[in-house]
Amino acid sequence: MNAIEPRTDLQDEASLQLDANGKLRHLLTLKGLDKGLLIDMLDDAEGYLTAPGSQPARSRVLAGRTVANLFFEASTRTRASFDLAGKRLGADVLNLDVNTSSRKKGESILDTIYTLEAMQVDVMVVRDASAGVPAYIARHVLDHVSILNAGESDVSHPTQGLLDVLTIRQHKDSFENLAVAIVGDIRHSRVAMSTSQALTTLGVGELRLISPAVLAPDPESVPGAIISDNLKEGIRDADVVMALRIQRERIGNLDGIPGIDEYFANFGISHESMMHAKPDAIVMHPGPMNRGIEIEGSLADGPRSVITRQVTNGVAVRMAVLDRVGKTMAAR
Amino acid sequence: MNAIEPRTDLQDEASLQLDANGKLRHLLTLKGLDKGLLIDMLDDAEGYLTAPGSQPARSRVLAGRTVANLFFEASTRTRASFDLAGKRLGADVLNLDVNTSSRKKGESILDTIYTLEAMQVDVMVVRDASAGVPAYIARHVLDHVSILNAGESDVSHPTQGLLDVLTIRQHKDSFENLAVAIVGDIRHSRVAMSTSQALTTLGVGELRLISPAVLAPDPESVPGAIISDNLKEGIRDADVVMALRIQRERIGNLDGIPGIDEYFANFGISHESMMHAKPDAIVMHPGPMNRGIEIEGSLADGPRSVITRQVTNGVAVRMAVLDRVGKTMAAR
Amino acid sequence: MNAIEPRTDLQDEASLQLDANGKLRHLLTLKGLDKGLLIDMLDDAEGYLTAPGSQPARSRVLAGRTVANLFFEASTRTRASFDLAGKRLGADVLNLDVNTSSRKKGESILDTIYTLEAMQVDVMVVRDASAGVPAYIARHVLDHVSILNAGESDVSHPTQGLLDVLTIRQHKDSFENLAVAIVGDIRHSRVAMSTSQALTTLGVGELRLISPAVLAPDPESVPGAIISDNLKEGIRDADVVMALRIQRERIGNLDGIPGIDEYFANFGISHESMMHAKPDAIVMHPGPMNRGIEIEGSLADGPRSVITRQVTNGVAVRMAVLDRVGKTMAAR
């Protein structure tokens, strides 16, 4: 891979997402995204939801378009979600597992991008372990290509942020009065970042980020959030509690957290810890879950859990985003 | 993976396959499946066959439906067969190679299933190396989801059983008068199990299972079958001879079978051993073949072989099953 | 894999490509392919090109047909190009990564082919590391199946040859007056072989093959070509300069080429070396590129480069070939 340019400031990244008419062309980050646009996308996503057990929404708005899933990091659920979103809108979907092929041959990311561009791919859905890659790509593609960030290092996962706030909106009245607690490995979580940004834009009442001290975020990255290492306090009277996945191999190396049992006891979302939240608080998790580590299995499967709803919303959000960038292209 | 529940008895598994109206909802096993239903599926499959060299049958009966191929074990032919069957019926097909992604992250099987369910996947085609997994999944999915077993440990491979009896029916008059010999590693063969169950249901005259003694099946698992370790006797006057794949690494460890030559001499289906079968006996193999080990290559390619016909029937059978569970869904 | 038959002479392979009516049925090699047919395919490919930034050409000429990508060697770009070409013509496309499945089980190539044939696959797109495999397969398939060579050892890559000459034709007036220099690891390049064959058929004025002496081709394999190990001379007044990918691991072992810097200095296509070519000479590369080794990055991205145009032409050429063999099938 060629050297990646130093990242420019995030505001620049946010404005990079819009075309000259202010229409969404790329989705790179939720940071700095206009509140009205964000709400429009949630409303669009609602339009792609159907009753449970019924067939999914379908249209042909992307017929003739090509969507490439370019995953430089392995993924089942996000890749499948974009794959289905593209197919249900009539697009041709190209799935590229880039680990096993181009990168082995030493081709640069940009050359892979230029190749797909030359094949008249319209939308590239990119997941990468390095910060800045989606914006870097977006700065280099031709006018008619859209880049969607499907997971970027610890930095950003904007469609996850959208599906999270959509799920909250479906269950709670207004963001202003809500206390949302996100619990777990905040420092390494692109989900925490994107969801926090969306909640902030939507004017959430209180945003609490709870983790062992060594996994706390840089406070500057989440202005306005309450950062805490005390689960009981952090979760108190919360309306929404979101557990984050923790990589098992990290646990043994955490200060004061010698093992899984200690992690679960101190930071696990369980029936017991949920006693401190509001009685009608909902439980979320971006998946894939480590049951018995960051979340109690029976809680994840119980009536307070909206975890599978998040997944359903994920497809709808991705359809809404694909449709929107498709319309931006068509209007050019 | 979470602990898998102990398997309940097979009758229970068979009844689990049908909905309240007696319609096929899952296909988990051929054991205990009603003879009329089995024949209906064979008749349906015939309807999906076209003349050799002509284009395959196609329809749009599954348009708007999503089929996910969820292969926890590698497969080319069965995965491709289901992929084409789904596409030729108009379904969106999602291919998931689960080895390389979710399971690496330690997600449980059920969480993967719940995720796909939430993405409004209608049919999950499951292959797994552990016994009981397809039924375990079927017991946990929502009402509108169908599970198709695409190979389960040494236990069951029902679409293979269906395609085998369809192939036999195309070449022979009635099952009552037939002697069918299945030869090879019976003990580890889900194909032998499912094909034996289908043949038994259809009232086959004589079912003979021939293998080295150490690879013989548990007699209780195949009631009514003649179990033998003598190929010459077992194949005598047979109407149908089916060779099974043997894993090469097993051969050196078999009693009295020190090497490949001995295996071929004693249990290989060859022009010579076929001299003992009826003159019009057909030769079958589920593939992939080890030529020169369990079957003589020129026999597999010769006029008595119906092996490629089995493959063609496999796509037709899978179309028939997909169509049928789709109709069950639609009638809910 | 069973033993592969000794290769017959290439003329035989060329004639094998045509059916009894002289129509293209397989595409195995450009060697010996009729000039009129070659030009017809280039003309057809032009018909599948659309304006930059507009949507790609689409049709339904292959609706109901099945194309299988059977890649025994890893590939991103060629596989993606055939995948999109098939989908944009309405075919069902089956992607098989055969390394990880059938071959692991020891199935022979022909049994894989017979299986796909029995599944009513119409076109098999084959890449293999062994010489002779595509023709070997073509000799064994049924009348209604077409084989397209997508890369064969060091021997042949015919669709790459077609897209290269199409790209040259778009930029230069007539082949008769052109000097084309192909530079790099000629000996191991199936691209060099196929492109040279196409250029020879089209009556190119001068074909120059430039490489370190140890990477020079067998002169008999490229009759009429000028073989040279002097880049400056070889490139002098050239109209077209094509750099070939070199495998990095080869470089340290080349006579007189101890490292990457020496390779770039002596055989790299750069702004400096291009000073010897004609002022309007174009620069080509089949990709994926090693920037800074066989080609200077800024040259590849500059106005003389037609590298992304090659990629676009690649999809169009593959659509033209798929369409053509589809018409041959339909006319049977």
Q: In chain C, pLDDT over 70 holds for what percent of residues?
A: 94
State both tokens at C63: 């609706």
End-to-end Cα separation, chain B, in angstroms: 32
Per CB-CB distance under 8 Å, the chain B contacts of A246 are none
B311 touches chain C (CB under 8 A): yes
Q: CB-side exposure of C122: number of CA atoms within 13 Å?
A: 24
Per CB-CB distance under 8 Å, the chain B contacts of C116 are 80
Size of interface A-C (CB pairs under 8 A): 75
A230 touches chain C (CB under 8 A): no
Flag whether A2 is in a domain: no
Q: Which residue type does C231 have?
A: L
Chains in contact with B via at least 3 Cβ–Cβ pairs below 8 Å: A, C
pLDDT of the residue at B101? 47
The answer to whether residues B320 and B158 touch, using CB atoms and an 8 Å cutoff, is no
DSSP character string of B131-181: TTHHHHHHHHS-TT-EEEEEEETTTB-HHHHHHHHHHHHHHSS-GGG-EEE
Widest CA span in chain B: 56
In chain B the beta strands, taken as DSSP E runs, fall at 66-71, 92-97, 123-128, 146-152, 179-183, 206-210, 226-228, 240-243, 282-284
Residues C127 and C197 both lie in one domain: no
Confidence of residue C254 (pLDDT cuts 50, 70, 90): confident
Q: Cα torsion at C86, C87, C89, C93 (round to 10°)?
A: 50
Q: Which of B48, B49, B54, B55 to mutate to test the interface with C (most CBs of C within 10 A)?
A: B55
Per CB-CB distance under 8 Å, the chain C contacts of B84 are 66, 92, 94, 119-120
Q: Strands B92-97 and B66-71, how do they pair?
A: parallel
A144 touches chain C (CB under 8 A): yes
**Digit-coded pLDDT (tens) for B237-252:** 999 999 999 988 888 8
Q: Determine, for residues A101 and C248 on separate chains, whether the beta-carbon distance falls below 8 Å.
A: no
Residues A134 and A259 both lie in one domain: no
The crossing angle, in degrees rounded to 10, of helices B35-47 and B158-171 is: 70
Q: Determine, for residues B118 and A77 on separate chains, whether the beta-carbon distance falls below 8 Å.
A: no
Rounded (5°) CA angle B179-B304-B54: 115
How far apart (Å, rounded) are the C-alpha atoms in residues B60 and B52? 22
The minimal CB distance from C92 to the residues B74, B84, B287 is found for: B84
Flag whether C306 is in a domain: no
pLDDT of the residue at C257? 83
**Helices and strands, number each (H, E), in chain C:** 13, 9
Integer angstrom CA distances of residue B54 from B58, B305, C329? 12, 21, 10
With the C-alpha atoms ordered B211, B215, B219, B222, is the resulting torsion angle positive or negative?
A: negative
pLDDT of the residue at C108? 85
pTM for the model: 0.94
Task: Give the mean pLDDT of chain A.
Answer: 92
Residues A148 and A84 both lie in one domain: yes
State both tokens at B223: 């009631």
**Structural domain total, chain C:** 2
**Residue A69 belongs to what H/E stretch?**
strand A66-71
Instruction: Give φ, ψ of C35 to 5 degrees.
Output: -60, -40
Q: Determine, for residues A116 and C84 on separate chains, whether the beta-carbon distance falls below 8 Å.
A: no
Q: Which of C48, C49, C55 to mutate to test the interface with A (most CBs of A within 10 A)?
A: C55
Q: Determine, for residues A74 and B143 on separate chains, whether the beta-carbon distance falls below 8 Å.
A: no
Per CB-CB distance under 8 Å, the chain C contacts of A331 are none
State both tokens at A26: 């790329």
Q: Determine, for residues C80 and A120 on separate chains, whether the beta-carbon distance falls below 8 Å.
A: no
Rounded (5°) CA angle C271-C274-C276: 135
C159 touches chain A (CB under 8 A): no
Give one word for A297, left, alpha or beta, with left for phi > 0 and alpha for psi -120 to 50.
alpha
How far apart (Å, rounded) are the C-alpha atoms in residues A110 and C76? 14
Residues B225 and B250 both lie in one domain: yes
DSSP-derived 3-state class of residue A27: strand
Closest alpha carbon to C232 in C182, C180, C273, C281: C273
Residues C127 and C38 both lie in one domain: yes
- DSSP-derived secondary structure letter, B296: -
Residues C213 and C149 both lie in one domain: no
pLDDT of the residue at B99? 63
CA distance B330 to chain A (A): 10
CA distance B119 to chain A (A): 5
Residue C116 reports pLDDT greater than 90:
yes
**Residue A149 belongs to what H/E stretch?**
strand A146-152
pLDDT of the residue at B202? 98
Flag whether B4 is in a domain: no
Q: Whole domain around residue B122: which residue ranges?
A: 10-153+311-331
Flag whether B171 is in a domain: yes
The answer to whether residues B267 and B292 touch, using CB atoms and an 8 Å cutoff, is no
Integer angstrom CA distances of residue C122 from B80, B316, C67, C330? 14, 17, 6, 11
Residues B183 and B205 both lie in one domain: yes
Q: Determine, for residues C117 and B248 on separate chains, whether the beta-carbon distance falls below 8 Å.
A: no
pLDDT of the residue at C224? 95
Flag whether A96 is in a domain: yes
pLDDT of the residue at A64? 94
Residues B243 and B323 both lie in one domain: no
The crossing angle, in degrees rounded to 10, of helices C109-118 and B77-88 is: 20
Residue C193 reports pLDDT greater than 60:
yes
CA distance B187 to chain C (A): 19
* B269, β-bridge pairs: B295
CA distance B30 to chain C (A): 23
**Digit-coded pLDDT (tens) for A20-60:** 999 999 999 999 999 999 999 999 999 999 987 789 999 99
- DSSP-derived secondary structure letter, A211: -
Q: Determine, for residues A94 and C83 on separate chains, whether the beta-carbon distance falls below 8 Å.
A: yes
How far apart (Å, rounded) are the C-alpha atoms in residues A41 and A316? 10
pLDDT of the residue at A291? 95
A76 touches chain C (CB under 8 A): no
Q: Which of B2, B70, B101 to mutate to test the interface with A (most CBs of A within 10 A)?
A: B101
Residue C105 reports pLDDT greater than 60:
no
Residue A1 reports pLDDT greater than 50:
no
Residue C155 reports pLDDT greater than 70:
yes
* A68, β-bridge pairs: A94, A124
Flag whether A4 is in a domain: no
State both tokens at C209: 């093959």
Q: Determine, for residues C101 and B76 on separate chains, whether the beta-carbon distance falls below 8 Å.
A: yes
How far apart (Å, rounded) are the C-alpha atoms in residues C59 and B26? 37
Residues C48 and C116 both lie in one domain: yes
State both tokens at C272: 């400096």
End-to-end Cα separation, chain C, in angstroms: 32
Size of interface A-B (CB pairs under 8 A): 76
Mark the ranges of chain B whose per-residue pLDDT is less than 50. 1-4, 6-7, 11, 100-102
The minimal CB distance from B74 to the residues C101, C107, C118 is found for: C101
The minimal CB distance from C119 to the residues B53, B289, B312 is found for: B312
Instruction: Give φ, ψ of C114 to 5 degrees.
Output: -60, -35
pLDDT of the residue at A255? 80
Confidence of residue A2 (pLDDT cuts 50, 70, 90): very low
The minimal CB distance from B80 to the residues C96, C106, C144 is found for: C96
Flag whether C4 is in a domain: no
How far apart (Å, rounded) are the C-alpha atoms in residues C132 and C72? 13
CATH of the domain at C259: 3.40.50.1370
Q: Determine, for residues A315 and B94 on separate chains, whether the beta-carbon distance falls below 8 Å.
A: no
Per CB-CB distance under 8 Å, the chain A contacts of C75 are 101
The minimal CB distance from C111 to the residues B55, B84, B289 is found for: B289
CB contact set of B3 (below 8 Å; sequence gap of 6+): none
A77 touches chain B (CB under 8 A): yes
Other beta carbons less than 10 A from residue A151's beta carbon? 25
The answer to whether residues B57 and B50 touch, using CB atoms and an 8 Å cutoff, is yes
Residues B200 and B219 both lie in one domain: yes
Q: Determine, for residues C102 and B77 on separate chains, whether the beta-carbon distance falls below 8 Å.
A: yes
Q: Which residue type does C136 have?
A: Y
Question: Between residues 78 and 137 of chain B, which touch chain A (CB distance below 8 Å)?
Answer: 92, 94, 96, 98, 100-102, 104-108, 111-112, 114-120, 122
Residue A326 reports pLDDT greater than 90:
yes
DSSP-derived 3-state class of residue B203: coil
The crossing angle, in degrees rounded to 10, of helices B109-118 and A307-331 is: 50
**Digit-coded pLDDT (tens) for A240-269:** 999 999 988 888 877 878 899 999 999 999
Please tell me the total number of residues recorded for chain C in this structure: 332
Per CB-CB distance under 8 Å, the chain B contacts of C106 are 248, 288, 290
The answer to whether residues B29 and B149 touch, using CB atoms and an 8 Å cutoff, is yes
Flag whether C259 is in a domain: yes
The minimal CB distance from C84 to the residues A64, A94, A107 is found for: A94
CA distance A75 to chain B (A): 6
A308 touches chain B (CB under 8 A): yes
Closest alpha carbon to A123 in A94, A155, A81, A156: A94
Taking residues A80-98, report their average pLDDT: 94
Q: Determine, for residues C107 and B75 on separate chains, whether the beta-carbon distance falls below 8 Å.
A: no
In C187-329 the beta strands, taken as DSSP E runs, fall at 206-210, 226-228, 240-243, 282-284
- Say which residue, B103 or A165, is predicted with more confidence: A165
- DSSP-derived secondary structure letter, A98: G
Place of tokens 């999950």: B124
For B116-146, letters b (16+ CB in 10 Å) and e give bbbbbbbbbbbbbeebbbbbbbbeebeebbb
Q: Determine, for residues B118 and A81 on separate chains, whether the beta-carbon distance falls below 8 Å.
A: no
The minimal CB distance from B56 to the residues C94, C101, C120 is found for: C120
Taking residues C59-85, report their average pLDDT: 94
Omega within 30 of 0 (cis) for the link into A288: yes
Residues C139 and C253 both lie in one domain: no
Residues B129 and B22 both lie in one domain: yes
Confidence of residue C1 (pLDDT cuts 50, 70, 90): very low
DSSP-derived 3-state class of residue C233: helix
**Digit-coded pLDDT (tens) for A170-217:** 999 999 999 999 999 999 999 999 999 999 999 999 999 999 999 999
DSSP character string of C135-198: HHHHHHS-TT-EEEEEEETTTB-HHHHHHHHHHHHHHSS-GGG-EEEEES--TT-HHHHHHHHH
